Structure 1
Amino acid sequence: MEVIPVTDKKTVDAFHKVPEKIYRNDSNWIPTLRMMIENTFNPERNVRFKTGDARRWLLKINEEYVGRIAAFYDENYSVSYDQPTGCCGFFECINDEAAAFQLFDTAKKWLKENGMEAMDGPVNFDENFFYWGLLSNGFKPQTFGMQYNPNYYKKLFEAYGFKTYYEQYSYALDITNPDLPGRFWKIAEWVSKKPGYSFEHFSFKNQDKYINDFIEIHKKAWGGHGNYKPIEYKLLKGLIKNAKIILDEEFMWYVYHNGKPIAFYMQILDLNQIIQKLKSGHLNFWRALKLMYYKKRKVITRCRVIVMGVIPAYQGKGIESGIFYHLKKVMQKKWWYNEMEMSWVGDFNPKMNALFKSFGATQTLTHNTMRYLFDREKVFVKAPIID
């Protein structure tokens, strides 16, 4: 059993081929875009390298690569907890405890050398709405950016000593469904026309304005949470640039009260519906052409809601339903979109979970963010509930 650092073109290529072995007979698996992963580990593309670092490894048994893992830390993330906490992710492994433990040990050793006292996983060295958490319920083809894994992974994590820090719930909702609660749409229409309130969607032309408005909303809406991590302008600017193919201006909405930003909503296109047809996450010239062809042919029928936030002073006033009132008109115009996934909401946020259920949304997926404390005598504490 040999652990090999990912340091050159040959090992990078091997890193991307490991999942092909793990999911060879799994029809639910959809490859992750290779470019997206490489951007994550590129210091020129990922601003988190300014306050952190990352490493990748492969596991070889009998001259065959059977597993992989990455470890990373970011000062903005690590200082948010009772102990400095790093992360591991991009974990793939055969169903073998010894192999999995070797990978976990490698990640733990490197994180300890960098001052960490715990590791969360499997997560991403990027925003938490992409590839975050361990799938534990809902083993089916995932929407773009959602983590998929074999069901035995949870047993491997738990056998090593990881515990669930929080659960993540995803919901399905069809806002064009006329059977949604009538009270919901009455409130939606009332809020959308209330004096002093305005609703407008994002535009690439004025993206600087909208990025700054999002930062203001994000700080006020999530700043009270104990694990709040500020979001940077450069990070958002980079995300928009790199993710333009999955964005639609009319799927990102802002709410203002007397000109001040108070709420934000964003959903992305499920590019996985095309990647599944390409059967590869490596976009060469011809696959890129096919991707654009399929997109124009309206193959994508599903969207994924990745973030929605309302600043505290305006929560409980039906602002969310007002957004859906405008979004419904967009969805009716773009009739080929007939599925919506709202993913994800942590179990530490009971208000948002209750809100989604009040819309008539149905829970469809569960992911788990796991935590491993290096000090095995330390008391494990789950993520605190947001009041």
Structure 2
Amino acid sequence: MKVINVVSKESEAEFLNFPTRLFSKDKNFIRPLDQDIEDVFNPKKNKFFKFGTCERFLFKNKENETVGKIAVFINRKYRQSQPTGGIGFFDCIDDQETANFIFDHAKKWLQEKGMEAMDGPINFGERDKFWGLLIEGFKEPLYGMNYNAPYYQTLFENYGFQIYFDQLCFGRKIHDPVAENFIQMHERISKNKRITAKPLQVKNLKKFAHDFTSVYNQAWAAHGEGKQFTEAQTLRLFNTLKPIINEHISWFVYEDEKPIAMWMNIPDLNQWFKFLNGKFGLFQKMMFLILKKFRKNKKMVGLVFGVIPEWQRKGVDGYMIWEGTKHFRKTTDFEDYEMQWIGDFNPKMVKIAETLETKVTRKLATYRFHFDEEKEFKRHPIL
């Protein structure tokens, strides 16, 4: 088998195009935006090149046909119990021998750089995009989410990968009945005239960035693998989201003027991007604006939900959920709600998802492979 290092324009294009051919008959496949993938491998765009190194490879058969691809990387920010590298952006024909060859190549590359294990498929960057192998719920992916055929699980597990942690997505129908206890919470909290709920407003983006930062840092940053946000970081994030913010679906709760809870949601961009075939040039941006205006988006995505510690378990969550739900049921066309994935190692967040009366809609897995077969395998520790 021929191995090609992805460095030329031709090989870069093939790295992007191969999955589209591979999944040409799969109605659920949505081609990711080319620029989102290319930015991962651009040192000027991806800050993680400061902490590691990354290479991409194509694999061709005797007929010079592409049969697989992979990215292999080391990220010193990715601290594990043993030196662990990463693999991602793996695609392969349904052939175990081909997959084994690709995995062996990645293993050798990582071993030469002192690694003792490899995790995958993961991203050379944050966990919010291109992380995990889909193993349940084979339907259209959310924006930034990996998608693969069911046979990929067999390719990984036959090679010897084991599940390091499961990634659970939770969802529900927007118009399904809301739990009676939520309505009771709403009724009780509504009697407190100091408590109000407000939807996010783009014209006051700086204020809501401040309020988000305050709630997030109190609710999540001290928990597990959470990290502090600065107000400037949040404002940059909000400005990035500004073109697709729907003011009806993100909600904040206040005690007087003090922010005490927030529920951040956005439309699923893939409901529009699936018509752009991975491109986002000037023409596609114009098309996106037209689609956004005239094509109803029926799926919203939950990004973050949080209540500051002093107000947890007091009914504020139910109050916010019912206040927001009543509003966006009347003002939007959304029919489905799905949350970004939650690791099974994070029972606190899983519990919150379950209290929203959601069900598991899809499951992805982060796999690990120890180069020393005698080394004891342990799943991700519980937070």
**TM-score, scaled relative to structure 2:** 0.87
Cα distance in 2 between the residues matched to 1:52 and 1:233: 28
**What secondary structure is seen at the aligned counterpart in 2 of 1:20?**
helix
* Distance apart, 1:224 and its partner CA: 4.9
5 Å-filtered alignment, 1:1-387, equals: 1-61=1-61, 62-76=63-77, 78-79=78-79, 81-177=80-176, 179-191=177-189, 194=192, 197-204=195-202, 207=205, 210-211=208-209, 214-215=212-213, 217-228=215-226, 239-256=237-254, 261-278=259-276, 280-386=277-383
Q: In 1, are the aligned partners of 2:209 and 2:238 still within 8 Å (CA)? A: no
Query: What is the identity, as a one-letter code, of the residue corresponding to 2:186?
Result: A
Structure 1 residues 293 and 88: alpha-carbon distance in aligned structure 2, compared to 1, 3 A threshold: same
Structure 1 residues 225 and 70: alpha-carbon distance in aligned structure 2, compared to 1, 3 A threshold: farther
* Distance apart, 1:68 and its partner CA: 1.2
Aligned residue pair count: 382
* Distance apart, 1:298 and its partner CA: 3.5
Q: In 1, are the aligned partners of 2:166 and 2:366 still within 8 Å (CA)? A: yes
Q: In 2, are the aligned partners of 1:173 and 1:342 still within 8 Å (CA)? A: no
Larger CA deviation: 338-347 vs 42-51 = 42-51
Structure 1 residues 266 and 375: alpha-carbon distance in aligned structure 2, compared to 1, 3 A threshold: farther
Cα distance in 1 between the residues matched to 2:236 and 2:56: 23
**Consecutive unaligned residues in structure 1, runs of 5 or more:** none
* Distance apart, 1:293 and its partner CA: 1.0
* Distance apart, 1:296 and its partner CA: 0.2
The structure whose Rg is larger is 2
Structure 1 residues 189 and 147: alpha-carbon distance in aligned structure 2, compared to 1, 3 A threshold: farther
* Distance apart, 1:258 and its partner CA: 6.5
Query: What is the identity, as a one-letter code, of the residue corresponding to 2:373?
Result: R
CA displacement 1:336-381 (0-9 Å, x = unmatched): 1121112322222334333333333222211111122233222111
Larger CA deviation: 326-335 vs 196-205 = 196-205
Q: In 1, are the aligned partners of 2:197 and 2:251 still within 8 Å (CA)? A: yes
Query: What is the identity, as a one-letter code, of the residue corresponding to 1:74?
Result: N
Larger CA deviation: 316-325 vs 217-226 = 217-226
Cα distance in 2 between the residues matched to 1:332 and 1:316: 25
* Percentage identity across paired residues of the two chains: 38
**Consecutive unaligned residues in structure 2, runs of 5 or more:** none
